[in-house]
Structure 1
Amino acid sequence: MSEKKMSVFPAVKAQEEEEELIDPQQALRDKCAEGEKAMKLHEKFQACTDRVNSRKKTAETCSEELFDYFHVIDHCVAKDLFTKLK
């Protein structure tokens, strides 16, 4: 006869599928990125990136354009984010 092995750890069964959690910050970022001001700044950033990538030697970076774009997105998100958190 075989003996049953006893475990010190409790057996845990997987729960049924849980609904996927959605990050409210990411949802707001996506929504804010569709705004007119954000889209204009993204186009400006993309134009800078294309210009920099087309040159072999350049000291130009697009950090200012990137920071401006993220500033607008973050400002838009900040006004609604904390009302969405539990």
Structure 2
Amino acid sequence: MGKKFLKSDEEVVDPKATLEVSCKPKCVRQLKEYQACTKRIEGDESGHKHCTGQYFDYWHCIDKCTEVQMQSAACSIHCICGFSFALYSLYCMFLLIWSMERSDEEVVDPKATMEVYCKPKCVRQLKDYQACTRRIEGDESGSKHCTGQYFDYWQCIDKCVAPKLFEKLK
């Protein structure tokens, strides 16, 4: 009666995929980092070089963005469908309006902000990593890598960020 059934020729639209497209402009930096990494390792046949970190950073950004939008969409669907619980509807409308007002705002990751301030404290590790990457740049074998220096650098950053980050978590 009030329900509409899909006909066999109608295509089901995945709302998450649609939201992912709308979130891509908010994750341009992560996408560019991933693309730059894939170009850097394009000719590597060894399989030792990878862009896993950049790939996950990009999709983490997309997932965070779509999660907020999916929650507000689910809430608006519940509100529109006429749940008679007055408090739930009121809460739902408040959440929908609030999320619409904030949808243009960029979500700020406190860890990323703190990393910027910690980078000057980890210059030695960064220089070691950069020197290593320059040293192995022409290596065709793919057996050389700078994983140790990379992790030393990020361990230094994390060690600096952690105490400040835990203060912000509640």
Q: TM-score scaled by structure 2?
A: 0.39
| CA deviation after TM superposition for structure 1 residue 9, in Å | 4.5
Contact (CA 8 Å) 1:52, 1:60: kept in 2 or not?
yes
Code of the aligned partner of 2:118: C
Code of the aligned partner of 1:67: F
| CA deviation after TM superposition for structure 1 residue 58, in Å | 5.2
User: Which has the larger displacement, 75-84 or 17-26?
Assistant: 17-26
Aligned partner of 2:141 in structure 1 is: 57
Gaps of 5+ in 1: none
Richer in helix (by share): 2
Gaps of 5+ in 2: 3-76, 81-91
Once superposed, which parts of structure 1, at least 4 consecutive aligned residues long, lie more than 3 Å away?
Answer: none
Greater relative contact order (Cα < 8 A, sep 6+): 1
Aligned-partner Cα distance in 2 for 1:85–1:9: 31
| CA deviation after TM superposition for structure 1 residue 17, in Å | 2.5
Aligned partner of 2:72 in structure 1 is: none
Aligned length, in residue pairs: 79
Aligned partner of 2:166 in structure 1 is: 82
Q: TM-score scaled by structure 1?
A: 0.70
Identity %: 32
Aligned partner of 2:106 in structure 1 is: 20
Larger radius of gyration: 1
